[in-house]
Structure 1
Amino acid sequence: MEQAVLTGHQQVNNINIYYEFYPKSTTDKTVILLHGFLSSTFTFRHLIPLLKQDYQVLSIDLPPFGKSDKSSRYVYSYKNLAQTVIKLTELFGIKKMTLLGHSMGGQIVLNILHMMPELADKAILLCSSSYLKRFGLPLILTSYIPYFHLFVKYWLARTGVKKNLQDSLFNHSLINEEMINGYLQPFLQDKIFVALTKMIRHREGDLPVEVLHKIKTPCLLIWGEHDRSMPLHVGERLKKDLTNSELIVLKETGHAVPEERPEEVYQHIKRFLAAV
């Protein structure tokens, strides 16, 4: 009988990280789950029960999201987020892993593959953030205005969780109170908006093409046909720039593939990880 899920916080890289760890004694394969911008482990709640049947699973709330700390001293760059994930896997003693990232989490995965190519044997990118530039200098400078975090809060309140979900999902009938409340929860405390202001300053642009060409880790790209956040042409371009990759396109699916197609995503992952 497998152990129950282990949840908690771990101090790593000068910040408290929330994690959910699903140990499995019959396998040495661990899948590391990294969510997207404005999201959390919550986004994988339908995928985790499927994955944990076959693999150990470690799902991480990337700071400042979910239940991880929203420190004003942490550096919210992709490079530092990648280093934080690496250090957490070291603390867990995980040797053999597959990295899975959705949206922004995909860009963190790519950073890890670039920084430590030997760390993961394979990677899965779900509608991965790619080719985005750094925020413009005017916005970065404006972020230093006192109480700028209140403008960030106002902007997010205007778009609203429900509107963001409608933009992310092709099938709007899936949106319910549980989903809305799950995504809303981390934004009920003001300190996350201070941290998001820091992220505006710290976030580099996505990895350039010349770096992507150097990544040799086998990558499975899974994309929604109707993704409005990272349109399909981004996935097609990424497939060309990652020399050892394949692209799967899910019909009648938007950006939130773990929400809309967990079973199909799981089946593609299982096939990909079983291949030699």
Structure 2
Amino acid sequence: MKQSMILLHGLFGGLSNWEGVIQHFESRYDIHIPLLPIFDYHLQDNLEYLVRFLEQYVQQHGLENAVIIGNSLGGHVAILFTHRHPDKVSRLILTGSSGLHENNNLGSYPKRGNYEYIRERVAYTFYDPAIATDALVSEVFQTTQNRIKCLRIVQTAKSAQRNYVAPVLPEIQTPSLLIWGEEDRIAPPEVAREFHQLLPHATLVMLPACGHAPMMERPEEFNRALEEFLGK
């Protein structure tokens, strides 16, 4: 029976962000990529709603001893879930995670209808702006065209900013891996080093010429670091 691997995307991320990881690990792991319900209507704190969604997802699928990997907001959700359910998580992997400090590069409200602005902001995510393909920019642009989705994005970003995880990190005994871009402008390298300091059993891997989404921008190096960590 394959071990479970849960991949959690960021605020503007999606299932396609994890293609390189899926291709590399799908033969050996039972991979789950839940679509985080960022745009749902609810009365809870937005981040708390996402953590509870993950709790229900794990319960419904009977997942045990899972490897959980989170990028950006997904990393934040993974931290809170692992802290609450250490028995469910065998390994925690964070990449560009929020929870300590993050430069919110979209401002207080995403500019609806301004395609070039969205292109610029998506490119800002990466060290190599060519990673911001027309398809990726169009996907984000379509999301920001919806007023309700824009509101949910802002609410979720603010919820994440309010939720400072430094106090809970020392309590997480799960072996952890931090894979970070040296050119991450959203969660800069000093954030990675602070995570490394606060997590008791953490390994830090810095990838040169790489921005906020290493699994997309440096998939081979990302998978190599992950492979080595999981093989220990």
Q: TM-score, normalised by structure 1?
A: 0.74
1:189 lines up with 2:183 in the alignment? no
Distance 1:127 1:98, change over 3 A: same
Distance 1:72 1:79, change over 3 A: closer
Instruction: Tell me which residue corresponds to 2:24.
Output: 50
Instruction: Give per-residue Cα distances to partners, 1:222-244, cap 9 Å, x unaligned.
Output: 00011110110110111010010
Contact 1:30 1:94 in 2 (8 A): yes
Instruction: Tell me which residue corresponds to 2:35.
Output: 61
Q: Match for 1:126 among 81, 84, 95?
A: 95
What is the number of equivalent residue pairs in this alignment? 228
More displaced 10-residue stretch of structure 1: 189-198 or 245-254:
189-198
Instruction: Tell me which residue corresponds to 2:220.
Output: 263
Alpha-carbon RMSD across the aligned residues, in angstroms, is 2.5
Q: Distance in 2 between matches of 1:156 and 1:75?
A: 29
1:177 alignment partner AA: D
Taking every aligned residue pair, what percent have the same amino acid on both sides?
Answer: 22
Instruction: Tell me which residue corresponds to 1:72.
Output: 41
Instruction: Tell me which residue corresponds to 1:254.
Output: 211
Q: Distance in 2 between matches of 1:81 and 1:156?
A: 28
* Offset at residue 196 of structure 1 (A): 3.0
* Offset at residue 46 of structure 1 (A): 3.0
Q: Distance in 1 between matches of 2:180 and 2:158?
A: 29
Distance 1:191 1:264, change over 3 A: same
Instruction: Tell me which residue corresponds to 1:32.
Output: 6
Contact 2:76 2:98 in 1 (8 A): yes
* Offset at residue 178 of structure 1 (A): 2.4
Contiguous gaps of at least 5 residues in structure 1: 1-26, 65-69, 136-150
Distance 1:170 1:194, change over 3 A: closer
SS at match of 1:183: helix
Q: Distance in 2 between matches of 1:204 and 1:115?
A: 20
Instruction: Tell me which residue corresponds to 2:185.
Output: 228
Distance 1:179 1:154, change over 3 A: closer
Contact 1:212 1:242 in 2 (8 A): yes
2:68 alignment partner AA: L
Contact 1:78 1:204 in 2 (8 A): no
Contact 2:69 2:93 in 1 (8 A): yes
Contact 2:6 2:67 in 1 (8 A): yes
Instruction: Tell me which residue corresponds to 1:216.
Output: 173
Instruction: Give per-residue Cα distances to partners, 1:22-60, cap 9 Å, x unaligned.
Output: xxxxx4211101111222223223332222132111112
**Which structure features the higher share of helix residues?**
2
Contact 1:235 1:247 in 2 (8 A): yes
Distance 1:107 1:159, change over 3 A: farther
Instruction: Tell me which residue corresponds to 2:131.
Output: 174
Distance 1:157 1:75, change over 3 A: farther
1:239 lines up with 2:192 in the alignment? no
Distance 1:176 1:194, change over 3 A: closer
Q: Distance in 1 between matches of 2:15 and 2:209?
A: 24
